[in-house]
Structure 1
Amino acid sequence: MASDLTESKVQQALEWAYDKALNGIPGTGTAEELAKQYLSDNESPLDAVNSLIRWQNTKAATSGFLTGLGGIVTLPVTIPANVASVLYVQLRMIAAIACIGGYDPKDDRVKALAYACLAGSAAKDILKDAGIVIAQKIALNSLKGISRGTITKINQAVGFRLLTKFGTTGVINLGKAVPILGGIVGATFDSVTTNVVGNVARDTFIPSAKTVAA
């Protein structure tokens, strides 16, 4: 239930989902593998990301894809499965976009930016409050200026934003999650919200992306 959730539990869910996005869940590839696939199938990083976002809005939202998330049942018991499944799929997309842009998703600074992307249109405000302005793709060398304190501030702000997005049903607004046959968690994603999250990640990690729609 939403009333049982706290910011610390949301942070736990973020950490779990990001780890699974990078290291994989049985039946699904890692974010890096996803990035390599789309880079090989497209002419440019921007094309690869746009294609990935389109795919995320369609095939990734089908029950056929989500039934492969068997590993989702290994999530921490204190985290609602619907929340963890949504965060996993969204963060896998964001981390793959970061990879396509040439970033190392294992870097804590990149992870903090990935978390911020989950906030969608609120991401810029979160980063601005932390002293980071996204007028264009964040340069790789500028990441060095992001301190540990700034990372903590971003993560806390994202955790608070996500916590406030839990309604009385306990379903996060980043998507809608429902149990499916066999007890495996599946999700029907709001394609509009998913598209916003993907576009924010593209604006953050891919050069010259702002003037091109997915």
Structure 2
Amino acid sequence: MENQIVKQEQGAKWLDTVYKQAVKGVGIGNTSVVSMAQDYMIKHKSKEEACKAMLKNQVIKCTSSGIITGIGGIVSLPFTLPVNVSTVLYMQMRMIACTAYMAGYEPSSDQTETLVLACLINVPITQLVKQVGVKASTKVATNVIKSVPGKALTKINQLIGFRFITKFGSKGVINLGKAVPFVGAGVGGAVDFFETRTIAKRAYDFFFEN
């Protein structure tokens, strides 16, 4: 149990660090999430149209993403993520956070961060809220999170962090990379495309459709 708590904290800390960098924008050509969202909203008649255009472009960028430099303060985990995996996760966070902003959420708030991370890892917020002992009177995740006190929010983030470590530390991308070190870039790009497209649809449904 103690080891599990440590892993939860490590995963949550890593996600929090990368999320804050993603919202601010780091690396060559990256602007803040707010600036990115406003640029799309100026060019389209509605927030919905702007969001769909942004999501489409971000899916393409994630598929052909280069190495993003300058992500500082990345803490150690029980495993090491390949740079390309970290890059794609970073861009996916920006995509979800941008969607949240267009839907009326403040990207820098703790509540929005929790929603974005839950969307990224695909963890039901209502389920997590119940796990930390908070009674949820609504099934709408974005409404539930508003009433969650700070300490409970921290516990929820730790649970998300544990799910993150379980997803990337024991199965899937990490082990695949170790087992097949010379896997073609085309295969990796295809995986990134389908995964990011799925996340994009989930983000739109999550923040615009509830």
How far has the Cα of 1:99 moved from its partner?
Answer: 1.0
Q: Hey, what does 1:92 align to over in structure 2?
A: 94
Q: 1:34 aligns with which of 16, 33, 36?
A: 36
TM-score by length of 1: 0.71
Task: Measure the CA separation in 2 of the matches of 1:133 and 1:150.
Answer: 16
Task: Measure the CA separation in 2 of the matches of 1:90 and 1:134.
Answer: 27
| Residues 1:76 and 2:88 aligned together | no
Name the one with the larger helix percent. 2
Partner deviation per Cα, 1:167-201 (whole Å, 9 max, x = no partner) = 5578369xx8xx9xxxxxxx845222222222222
Task: Measure the CA separation in 1 of the matches of 2:170 and 2:146.
Answer: 40
Structure with max Cα Rg:
2
Q: How many corresponding residue pairs?
A: 188
SS class of match (2:142):
coil
1:26-175 correspondence to structure 2 within 5 Å? 26-27=27-28, 28-63=30-65, 66-67=66-67, 69-72=68-71, 74-76=72-74, 78-79=76-77, 80-82=80-82, 83-120=85-122, 122=124, 125-126=127-128, 129=131, 131=135, 138=142, 144-168=146-170, 171=173
Give unpaired runs (5+ residues) of structure 2.
1-5, 182-187
Q: In 1, are the aligned partners of 2:12 and 2:161 still within 8 Å (CA)?
A: yes
- Coordinate RMSD, CA, aligned: 3.3
Q: Between the two proteins, what is the percent identity of the paired residues?
A: 30
Q: Hey, what does 2:12 align to over in structure 1?
A: 11
Give unpaired runs (5+ residues) of structure 1.
180-186
Distance 1:117 1:20, change over 3 A: same
Distance 1:34 1:146, change over 3 A: same
Distance 1:165 1:133, change over 3 A: farther
Task: Measure the CA separation in 2 of the matches of 1:84 and 1:101.
Answer: 26
